[in-house]
Amino acid sequence: MGKKARQRRNTAFEEKSRMFRGTFSAAAAGFGFFLPENGEEKECFVPPVGVGPALDGDTVEAQVFYPDRNGRIFGHLSKGPVAYIKAVLERGRKTIAARLDSRHSAQPMDRHLPDTIAVNSVPRDTKTGEWVQLRLLPGGSKHTEKLRGAVEERLGMAGTVEGDLNAVMAEFKLEPPYTAEQEKAASAVKKAEIEREDMTDLAAITIDPSDACDFDDALTIAVTGKNEVTLGVHIADVAAWIRQGTKFDKEAAKRGFSSYLPGRFLPMLPKSLTQKISLQQGEVSSAHSVFFTIRRNDGKILSVRRAHTQIKVVHRLTYDEVQNFLSDPENCPAGWSKTFKDELTLLATTARRLRAKRLKQEEFLMIDTVDTRALCNEETGEVTAIDKRTQTEADQLVEECMLAANSAVANELIERQVAGLYRVHPWPTPEKIEEFSLFVKNSFKLKTGDIISSRAACQKFLASVPDDHRKSVILSAFLRALPRASYAEDPSIHFGLGKTRYSHFTSPIRRYTDLLIHQQLWNLDTKKKLKSKKFMGEQAIRCTKLEEANDNAYFAANDRMKLHYLLQTHALENGTLYEGVITKVTAAGLLCEVQDLGLYGFVPSSFLRGGEYRRSRDRLSAKFQGSHTEYNAGDFVYLILDSLDMVHGSAVFRISI
C-alpha cells in the first residue's frame, strides 16, 4: 500500500473514531479494557500498543475506533470497538506494595503493573528484599514519564508469612486491627433499649465453622399446628449497640467487612464489643428475629413476621457435627437429648422442603464448587494444612434459613417503601456466554444449550457437567463468565439465586451492608428519621468497592499462604506429583489448575519438549512442529513444582513425562 493510500485509510479511520473519558482496566498479559464513563458505550479492548502510560484503575482519555462495514479496524478483523489511551487524567492508585530489589528499584506485587518501578527515596535503614509501601510520584503533566515511587512505609521481609500478610493488607488498603485503646473504648459501649419478645423458652442453636470468631445467627424450630412449623431466624441485634454516626459506626463503615485472611483476622467491629453482641451459648442475648410459618408437607411459607427478641442459645454446633448427625442420626454427642435430636431433624426436613420449593419457583443455579483454603496459625505464622471443603447438607440447612430471612427483609422494605440496600447480580452478557459455550464445546465436546435465555437450560447444563477432573475447570470458567454481584439502592435480578427482591440482613457483625439494614429497621421500629435512598445509593457503591478489595485480598493471601505451605513441606525438593488440568493455552505456555492445591500454575513453553511450540488458531490447543505431541485445554496432566514467585504469588510447574 502506497503512502497516499495509507493516509486515505488512516483519515477514514480517524473519521470513525471518538474521544471518551473513562476507566482503564489492565490485564496481566499487557493488554487491557477501556470503559467510557458516559454509560452508553460498551467496554472496549485496548491492545498492548494502545495502553501507553496507563495503569490499572486510572481515569484516562481514550480514542475509540469502530469497525468498518467489513468488521475491520486498521485492516484487521475486530469483534468490536478498540481503544487507544491518549492521556492519563488521574491515577487510580496513589500507593502500591512492592518488594525492594535495590535502593533504586522495586518489584510491584500487582502483576498488572510494570515489572520494575524506579524508586526515588528510600529510608536509610530499609533493607533489600523488604516489602515496602510506595507512593507513586507524578510523571509529568500527562503521566508520560517513567513510573517512579518513594518509600512511605516498611512492611516486613518478603517471603515471610508476617511480611507477606502485611504487604497484602497494604496493597488492598485493608484497615489494621483495632488498637488496645479502641478495644477498651468499645468495651464501654452500652446497648440501647427497645421492647423485646421473650423467646428464651425456644431451644436456639448456632451452626458455624469450627474456627468461627463471631456468632451472629441462631435458629429455632417449633411445631405450631397440625401441618405447620414456625422457623425462627435470629440475628444479633447489632443496631442496638452501633448507632448511626457514632464512633464505631464510622469505624465499621471504613472497614466495610471483616477480613478473614489466612493467619490474620481483621474484624469489622472491635472484638471486645462483638463478644457482647454475639449470640453466646448459655447466655440470654438480644436478637433481631424473623419468624416464618411454614407448611410442613411442601415447604410453603404461609406468613412472615419480624421482631426484636431475647433468645437463649442452648447448643453451639459446628457444620461437621450437624453433617455427621444428618448422615448418621446415631452419630452424635452423648449429651444430645431425644427432644433436641427430634428438633434438629425437623429443622433439616424443613430446610430441605424450603430448598425444593425455592428450586421449583426460582430455578436458582446449583454450582458445586470446592473451597480450598490454607490453614495458618496466627500465633506461630506456620501454615499447617491446605483444607478442601465442599458444601454439605449442613451448609445448605443454614443457607436456606438465611436466604429466607434476607428475602423477607427485602420484601418488607419494598412493601413499606423504606429505602434499602439490595444484593443484585445481573444476567451475564450474550458475548460472555457465547465465549464460554465455545470454550466448553471445543475443549470438552459438551453443548451448553440456550443458557443465556433459559434458566431451566442453565440448570440442566450445570447438572450435566461430568463429575471428574473437568468439572472444576468448567464451573470456574462458567463463574468467570458471570458478572460480580454488587449492592444497589433499587431491587433487581439476582441471577444466581433467581430472586428479584433480596437484601443482606443476616451478618451485621461482619458486613456493614447488613448493619445499615439493621439500623434502618431500628429507626423504622423506633419512629426515628430514616436514611434516604440517595444515602443508600452512595453506600451501595462504596461497599461494593470495599467488598471487591476484601475478596481480592483474601485470594492473594490464600495463594501466598499455599506457596508457604509448599516451601514448608519441601515440595521443591521432593518431586511430588500434582494432578492438574490445562485451563488455558497461551503463546507463552500452559495455564493449569492444580486441583490438590486449589491453585493455578504455569508451565512455560520452554519446558515442553517436541520442537517448535505453536498455538492453534482457536487458542485452545498447542502442538510442536514435526511432532505428534499436543496439549489441549481440558487435558489431564501430572505436574512437578519447579519454582515459586513469592512476589506475585504464583507457581511454575513442569509436566511429568
- Cβ neighbours of residue 18 under 8 Å, at least 6 residues apart? 63, 64
- Beta bridge mates, 313: 204, 281
Alpha carbon 462 to its chain's center: 21
C-alpha distances out from residue 157 to 101, 111, 131, 585, 648, Å: 12, 19, 6, 34, 15
24-77 pLDDT, tens per residue? 998 877 889 999 988 777 889 999 889 888 888 899 999 999 888 777 887 677
Using 50 as the pLDDT threshold, list the residues of the chain that sit under it: 1, 8, 11-15, 140-144
Structural domains of the chain, with CATH: 14-90 (2.40.50.140), 95-158 (2.40.50.640), 196-426+487-559 (no CATH), 430-482 (no CATH), 570-655 (2.40.50.140)
For the residues of 99-160, what is the DSSP string, one character each? Answer: EEEETTEEEES-TTS-S-EEEEE--TT--TTEEEEEEEPP-TTTT-SPPEEEEEEEEEETTS
Q: Strand (E) positions, 226-268? A: 228-236, 259-261, 264-266
Q: Give the integer Cα–Cα distance in Å for 514 and 268.
A: 12
Q: Can you give the pLDDT at residue 619?
A: 66
Q: Can you give the pLDDT at residue 141?
A: 44
Question: Which grid cell is 169?
Answer: 493488607
- Beta bridge mates, 45: 33, 82
**Residue 19 and residue 27 in contact, taking contact as beta carbons nearer than 8 Å:** no
Lookup result for grid cell 430441605:
352
634-643 pLDDT, tens per residue? 889 999 999 9
- Beta bridge mates, 218: 234
- N residues, the chain: 657
- Beta bridge mates, 259: 266
Neighbours of 195 (CB within 10 A): 8
3-state SS string for 555-620 = HHHHHHHHHHHHHHCCHHHHCCEEEEEEEEECCCEEEEEECCCCEEEEEEHHHCCCCCEEECCCCC
Lookup result for grid cell 431500628:
522
**Residue 581 and residue 590 in contact, taking contact as beta carbons nearer than 8 Å:** no
User: Residue 386, by phi and psi: left (phi above 0), alpha (psi -120 to 50) or beta?
Assistant: beta
Query: Which of 137, 128, 139 shows the shortest CA–CA distance to 106?
Result: 128
- Beta bridge mates, 644: 651
Query: Which of 321, 294, 290, 327 shows the shortest CA–CA distance to 308?
Result: 290
Helix (H) or strand (E) holding 324: helix 319-327
Q: What is the pTM of this model?
A: 0.91
Q: Give the integer Cα–Cα distance in Å for 319 and 210.
A: 7
Neighbours of 104 (CB within 10 A): 11
In sign, the C-alpha dihedral spanning 356, 357, 361, 366 is negative
For the residues of 345-379, what is the DSSP string, one character each? Answer: HHHHHHHHHHHHHHHHHH-------EEEEEEE-TT
Q: Give the integer Cα–Cα distance in Å for 45 and 51.
A: 10
Burial (0-12, 13-18, 19+ Cβ within 10 Å), 327? exposed
φ/ψ (deg, to 5) at 523: -65, -40
Query: Which of 166, 182, 183 shows the shortest CA–CA distance to 174?
Result: 166
Q: Can you give the pLDDT at residue 627?
A: 65
Q: Can you give the pLDDT at residue 520?
A: 98
Q: 59-65 and 44-46: which strand pairing?
A: unpaired
Q: Give the integer Cα–Cα distance in Å for 559 and 650.
A: 8
- Cβ neighbours of residue 164 under 8 Å, at least 6 residues apart? 131, 156, 158, 557, 560, 561, 564, 646
In sign, the C-alpha dihedral spanning 400, 286, 508, 408 is positive
Q: Can you give the pLDDT at residue 144?
A: 46
Q: Give the integer Cα–Cα distance in Å for 389 and 92.
A: 36
Q: Give the integer Cα–Cα distance in Å for 529 and 610.
A: 73
Query: Which of 554, 621, 632, 566 shows the shortest CA–CA distance to 594?
Result: 566
Q: Give the integer Cα–Cα distance in Å for 455 and 432.
A: 16
C-alpha distances out from residue 215 to 205, 219, 345, 499, Å: 10, 12, 22, 27
**Residue 16 and residue 68 in contact, taking contact as beta carbons nearer than 8 Å:** yes
Neighbours of 4 (CB within 10 A): 8
Q: Rg of the chain over CA atoms, in angstroms?
A: 27
Q: Can you give the pLDDT at residue 186?
A: 96
- Cβ neighbours of residue 3 under 8 Å, at least 6 residues apart? none
For the residues of 412-479, what is the DSSP string, one character each? Answer: HHHHTT----EEEBPPPPHHHHHHHHHHHHHHH-----STTT-HHHHHHHHHHS-SSHHHHHHHHHHH
Q: Can you give the pLDDT at residue 52?
A: 85
Q: Give the integer Cα–Cα distance in Å for 425 and 500.
A: 10
Q: Give the integer Cα–Cα distance in Å for 522 and 240.
A: 8
